[in-house]
A and B are shown apart, each in its own frame.
Chain A
Amino acid sequence: MHNVENSIREAAKKLLSEKKVDLIVGYERGTLPLRTTPCFVDKAEDVRKLVWNENCDANLSKYLLSRKENVGVVAKGCDARSIAVCIFEKQIDKEKVVIIGAPCLGLIDKKKVKAKLDGRELLEATIEDEQIRLKGEGFELVFPKKDFICNSCLTCRHRNPPIYDVFTGEKVSEAEVDEFGEIADLEAKPAKERWEHFKEELDKCIRCYACREVCPLCYCKTCFVDQTMPIWFGKTNDLSDTMIYHLVRAFHVAGRCVDCGACSRACPMNINLREVVKKTEKIMKERYDYTAGLSLEKIPPLGEFKIDDSQEFIK
């Protein structure tokens, strides 16, 4: 981990001092345990602020949208994939971005930690080898790190960025995982139970739009829920309105979502939003054999068609 951190700093320093970029977007230490915060470095001497660890959870591709200057960006596998989608969709200018790819070892899910501590506040956390040490008022606990890895990372098949300009550290081996296993149980349930499940989950939503704002692919200038002429769907936290908001958001990222998990991590109400968007990924894979963010050329499924597409649902 440390050597990746050093190579990120070196790469950043080189890019800045050679004037290849005007700005580096990376992560720096946050103000709370298990947190990092996005950081913007424009001077070579400031690169020591940059960190790399299991808490670098923000998807930084969001900060590349509509930037005029040349930017270097630190990217994990999922971040690089969402950058690829944005480049394809002409939201990020490929010529202006230098991707500093870094191998991802999986992010720590703060919500899993919180659940484990059950109301006790975490004051300090250290991660060493494969263990995580959690300290707080009157407790010090050690757990295997794997207990707290984000669900999106547990089903990740692209820890190494598929596209990058500079690669830092060494590539990690990709795991063979069941990508869609986590929604299999839910899918197997009858419609009524699924409805009850989502009703309960999405009823917690407070419409803060954190999921939308952190999503690298929710870049519309005016989101459909913010449209007023005409108003498509209501902005209240009425169940029907929130359901539709999440449904349509999922629909809009279908074939584009790279399952970075940013939406789930950002939700203050602990709604597992990935459960909704994960389905779109599965539909894309099963119907159109497509995985988003792996190529800069391939047209995503909803941008094209074939004469013999599946149509079992049409009379």
Chain B
Amino acid sequence: MKPAEKEWTPKILAFLCNWCSYAGADLAGISRMQYPPNIRVVRVPCSGRVNPYFIIKALQRGWDGVLVSGCHPGDCHYISGNLVARRRFAVLKDLLEYLGIESGRLNFSWVSAAEGEKFATVVKEVVEKVKALGPAERLVKR
């Protein structure tokens, strides 16, 4: 299980909202679009459900990156969940980066149910970014 023994590939935790991004991921799958297999998906009702603790906890437990994806502004199934979340994430991201966490480890996107291709692109980009950063060290509890 030691990461050094195998070639390291990043592990990225993705929180996808049920109504848009999860469906977007699904569409990417159905359409047989290729994207790196480094993400593990947690399906959440809304990006507004993503408690900042989830993100911080993921970083503490050694996930190399986090992706949160929800509906585009205005499309939220719950009207404004993603708008509330947006402010929260803005503060959290600014704060984490200020403390010195590499900005590439925290990723946010809006992906609609129709944007299978965008989902694949987002994941590709995130994986590339995290790969460039290497394994997570800061904030990881040993």
User: Beyond A232-B53, A243-B139, is A314–B96 a contact (Cβ under 8 Å)?
Assistant: no
Is B93 close to A, CB under 8 A? yes
Stretch at the interface among A29-37, A167-175, A186-194: A186-194
**B86-A279 in contact (CB<8A):** no
**B108-A314 in contact (CB<8A):** yes
Q: Which residues of B contact A279 (CB under 8 A)?
A: 94-95, 98
**B53-A283 in contact (CB<8A):** no
Q: CB within 8 A of B139: which of A244, A276, A301?
A: A244
Is B56 close to A, CB under 8 A? yes
Q: Which residue of A lies closest to B53 (CB)?
A: A232
Q: Which residues of A contact B42 (CB under 8 A)?
A: none
**A195-B84 in contact (CB<8A):** no
Binary interface encoding of chain A residues 182-208 relative to chain B, with 1 for a CB under 8 A from any of its CBs, else 0: 000011000111111111000000000
Q: CB within 8 A of A251: which of B52, B84, B138?
A: B52
Q: CB within 8 A of B95: which of A197, A283, A306?
A: A283
- The CA-CA distance from A311 to B90 in the complex, in Å, is 8
**A241-B141 in contact (CB<8A):** yes
Is A302 close to B, CB under 8 A? yes
Please report the number of residue pairs spanning A and B whose Cβ atoms sit closer than 8 angstroms. Answer: 108
- The CA-CA distance from A7 to B95 in the complex, in Å, is 42
Is B18 close to A, CB under 8 A? no
User: Beyond A232-B53, A251-B91, A314-B110, is A198–B60 a contact (Cβ under 8 Å)?
Assistant: no
User: Beyond A305-B84, A307-B83, A309-B83, is A283–B139 a contact (Cβ under 8 Å)?
Assistant: no
User: Beyond A187-B98, A192-B100, A194-B98, is A313–B93 a contact (Cβ under 8 Å)?
Assistant: yes
**B91-A254 in contact (CB<8A):** yes
A145 to chain B, nearest CB (A): 32
User: Beyond A250-B95, A305-B80, is A224–B109 a contact (Cβ under 8 Å)?
Assistant: no
Q: Which residues of B contact A283 (CB under 8 A)?
A: 90-91, 94-95
B52 to chain A, nearest CB (A): 6
Query: Size of chain B's interface in residues, with CB distance under 8 A?
Result: 39
**B138-A195 in contact (CB<8A):** yes
A82 to chain B, nearest CB (A): 19
Query: Size of chain A's interface in residues, with CB distance under 8 A?
Result: 44
Is A247 close to B, CB under 8 A? yes
Is A38 close to B, CB under 8 A? no
Is B107 close to A, CB under 8 A? yes
Q: Which residue of A lies closest to B107 (CB)?
A: A315
Is B117 close to A, CB under 8 A? no
- The CA-CA distance from A191 to B86 in the complex, in Å, is 23
Is A287 close to B, CB under 8 A? yes
Is A162 close to B, CB under 8 A? no
- The CA-CA distance from A34 to B45 in the complex, in Å, is 54
Binary interface encoding of chain A residues 211-254 relative to chain B, with 1 for a CB under 8 A from any of its CBs, else 0: 00000000000001000000011100010110110011011001
Q: CB within 8 A of A244: which of B60, B109, B110?
A: B60
Q: Which residue of A lies closest to B122 (CB)?
A: A315
**A313-B90 in contact (CB<8A):** yes
User: Beyond A287-B90, A315-B108, A315-B125, is A224–B99 a contact (Cβ under 8 Å)?
Assistant: no
A263 to chain B, nearest CB (A): 16
Q: Which residues of B contact A311 (CB under 8 A)?
A: 73, 86, 90
**B99-A195 in contact (CB<8A):** yes
A41 to chain B, nearest CB (A): 40
| 6 intermolecular pairs with C-beta atoms under 8 Å apart | A195-B99, A197-B100, A251-B91, A302-B91, A309-B86, A311-B73
Additional A-B contact list (7), CB under 8 Å, known A197-B100, A310-B90: A232-B57, A244-B139, A247-B95, A251-B95, A279-B98, A288-B87, A311-B86
Q: A residues near B, CB below 8 A?
A: 186-187, 191-199, 224, 232-234, 238, 240-241, 243-244, 247-248, 250-251, 254-255, 276, 279-280, 283-284, 287-288, 301-302, 305-307, 309-311, 313-315
